[in-house]
């Protein structure tokens, strides 16, 4: 591969929401997940990105994809009998393709809402978490820093992020469609992360009346409420506030349901016939799905928002082309300056050495005299050295010239056994 960098993951396009929900990482298991991931054989340094739309593992090294998928599903106790053809939901990119994918994600080009900026912040958070825990490493650090610089360039030199449709904006706009006039409408927001804050900003800009902000940490809810002229609510008190609001938005990393059907039923009895809009933007879900059966309750989940955004997200072809050209140019430059030819040559020599050992094992016998044994070993060593000289020179020359086509051909024809 061009550089020993790989990506393994799944997203809103390749996988159903129930699978993403199964393997999502949250605050309670991220640290342990990072430790175990970085202890997998062949993972020299690793980062885990987990959002509502994707779970991706970035790593420097040459670990086998099947080992990583097996670990990931075991870590999250995925039930294979319920999730058929699970491996087909994962994608795997290495070398240049891995770099291209990471840059597309960071630039917002692989997002459900094309051009959105939130994912770049999420990658930065994942980067800092890995660095904080000592799992980043010099090489992976350099790749991620390169990613941040290129993503900034792609956004600043194109209109890729202009008028993007974000989850938060879609959630709020959909609430307006359900509730009509929102000037006298109140909303409860559960969560204090980026999505929740964006929702609050959009609610304020659209003219919602009173905003209640609830979070597991009351102090954080109070800080946000103070900033956006809202009212902080303790998470254990949300049931008291539900009858007061017309809209409920949730965006948390809670592993369990926060709002059950019974809670909503009680609220319905108190507020009468007015509609209640609920938007559950979390994975795993915060709101019990069966509340959708209640009269005058309009539940929108992450899956619903995905469909709405898919219909509305349109990126001008010329802007997308500009961003793609920037990424291609920057990757070529990066490979020229950082492509690990030594790594590729070492792997090729390992292949040749493995073949040599296999063939020697066929001819070396226990009763063979020492002179014959030594002569055969020397012959094998000399042949392997001469055979590998030409290809290793080709590898070095391709990397020096940053000839990506030649490197990819080398990867397929010479290094296919291990990459």
Do 36 and 66 fall within a single domain?
yes
Do 118 and 248 fall within a single domain?
no
Q: What are phi and psi of 53, to 5 degrees?
A: -105, -10
Do 240 and 349 fall within a single domain?
no
- For 357-387, how does the pLDDT look when each residue is reduced to its tens digit (9 = 90+)? 888 888 888 888 888 888 999 998 888 888 8
Give the mean pLDDT of 100-106: 92
Does residue 285 belong to any structural domain of this protein? yes
CATH of the domain at 174: 3.40.50.720
Does residue 418 belong to any structural domain of this protein? no
Give the residue numbers spanning the domain of 408.
Answer: 341-413
Do 178 and 262 fall within a single domain?
yes
- For 59-77, how does the pLDDT look when each residue is reduced to its tens digit (9 = 90+)? 998 888 888 988 988 898 8
Sequence-separated (6 or more) residues with CB below 8 Å from residue 316: 159
Residues 224, 15: Cα–Cα separation, whole Å: 34
Top pLDDT among 34 and 398 is at 34
> Where is the domain boundary, 304, 338, 372?
338
- What mean pLDDT, rounded, does the chain reach? 84
Do 299 and 222 fall within a single domain?
yes
Cβ atoms within 10 Å, residue 273: 7
Do 192 and 271 fall within a single domain?
yes
Q: What is the pLDDT of residue 34?
A: 93
Does residue 78 belong to any structural domain of this protein? yes
Does residue 240 belong to any structural domain of this protein? yes
Does residue 274 belong to any structural domain of this protein? yes
**Structure-token pair, residue 24:** 């999502």
Do 280 and 212 fall within a single domain?
yes
Burial degree of 243 (CB within 10 A; 0-12, 13-18, 19+):
middle
- The residue assigned the tokens 């020599």 is 349
Q: What is the pTM of this model?
A: 0.62
Give the mean pLDDT of 125-148: 91
Kindly name the residue from 52, 72, 126, 233 that is annotated as catalytic: 52
Active site residue 89: no
Residues 392, 261: Cα–Cα separation, whole Å: 65
Do 59 and 103 fall within a single domain?
yes
- Residue 175: strand, helix, or coil: helix
- From the DSSP assignment, how many helices (H) and strands (E) are in the chain? 16, 10
Does residue 419 belong to any structural domain of this protein? no
- For 254-296, how does the pLDDT look when each residue is reduced to its tens digit (9 = 90+)? 889 999 999 999 988 887 768 899 999 998 899 999 999 998 8
Q: What is the pLDDT of residue 317?
A: 64
Does residue 404 belong to any structural domain of this protein? yes
Do 187 and 325 fall within a single domain?
no
Confidence of residue 418 (pLDDT cuts 50, 70, 90): very low
Do 36 and 53 fall within a single domain?
yes
Do 352 and 398 fall within a single domain?
yes
Do 133 and 46 fall within a single domain?
yes
Half-sphere exposure of 332 (CA within 13 A, CB side): 12
- For 9-59, how does the pLDDT look when each residue is reduced to its tens digit (9 = 90+)? 999 888 887 788 888 898 889 999 999 999 998 899 999 999 888 999 999
Q: What is the pLDDT of residue 8?
A: 93
The Cα diameter of the chain in Å comes to 98
- The Cα angle at residue 58 between residues 159 and 417, in degrees rounded to 5: 120
Sign of CA dihedral 292, 261, 209, 184: positive
Number of domains in the chain: 3
- The Cα angle at residue 42 between residues 37 and 44, in degrees rounded to 5: 70
- For 149-206, how does the pLDDT look when each residue is reduced to its tens digit (9 = 90+)? 999 888 888 877 775 567 888 899 999 999 988 888 999 999 988 889 999 999 998 9
For the beta sheet containing 211-215, the strands, ordered from the edge strand earlier in sequence to the opposite edge, are 231-234, 211-215, 187-190, 247-250, 276-280, 297-301
> Where is the domain boundary, 338, 353, 378?
338
Does residue 76 belong to any structural domain of this protein? yes
């Amino acid at each position: 591969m061009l550089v020993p960098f790989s990506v393994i993951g799944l997203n809103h396009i390749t996988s159903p929401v129930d699978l993403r929900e199964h393997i999502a990482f949250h605050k309670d298991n991220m640290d342990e997940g990072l430790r175990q991931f970085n202890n997998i054989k062949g993972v020299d340094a690793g980062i885990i990105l987990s959002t509502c739309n994707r779970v991706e593992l970035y790593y420097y090294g040459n670990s086998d994809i099947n080992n990583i998928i097996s670990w990931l599903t075991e870590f999250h106790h995925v039930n294979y009998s319920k999730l058929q053809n699970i491996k087909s939901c994962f994608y795997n990119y290495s070398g240049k393709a891995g770099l291209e994918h990471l840059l597309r994600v960071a630039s917002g080009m692989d997002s459900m809402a094309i051009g959105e900026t939130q994912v770049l912040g999420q990658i930065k958070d994942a980067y800092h978490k890995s660095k904080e825990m000592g799992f980043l490493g010099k090489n992976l650090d350099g790749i991620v820093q390169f990613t941040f610089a290129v993503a900034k360039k792609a956004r600043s030199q194109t209109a890729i992020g202009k008028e993007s449709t974000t989850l938060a904006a879609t959630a709020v706009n959909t609430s307006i469609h359900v509730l009509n006039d929102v000037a006298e409408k109140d909303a409860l927001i559960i969560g204090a992360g980026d999505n929740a804050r964006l929702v609050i900003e959009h609610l304020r800009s659209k003219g919602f009346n009173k905003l209640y902000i609830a979070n597991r940490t009351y102090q954080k809810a109070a800080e946000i409420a103070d900033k956006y002229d809202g009212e902080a609510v303790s998470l254990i008190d949300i049931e008291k506030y539900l009858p007061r609001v017309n809209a409920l938005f949730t965006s948390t990393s809670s592993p369990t349901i926060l709002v059950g059907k019974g809670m909503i039923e009680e609220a319905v009895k108190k507020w009468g016939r007015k509609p209640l809009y609920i938007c559950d933007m979390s994975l795993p879900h915060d709101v019990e799905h069966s509340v959708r059966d209640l009269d005058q309750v309009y539940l929108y989940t992450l899956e619903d928002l995905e469909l709405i955004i898919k219909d509305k997200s349109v990126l001008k072809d010329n802007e997308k082309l500009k961003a793609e050209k920037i990424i291609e140019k920057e990757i070529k430059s990066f490979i020229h300056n950082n492509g690990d030819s030594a790594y590729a040559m070492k792997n090729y020599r390992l292949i040749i050495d493995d073949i040599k050992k296999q063939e020697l094992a066929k001819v070396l016998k226990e009763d063979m005299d020492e002179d014959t044994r030594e002569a055969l070993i020397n012959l094998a060593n000399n042949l392997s050295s001469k055979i590998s000289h030409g290809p290793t020179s080709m590898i070095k020359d391709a990397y020096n010239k940053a000839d990506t086509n030649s490197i990819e051909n080398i990867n397929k024809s010479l290094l296919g056994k291990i990459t």
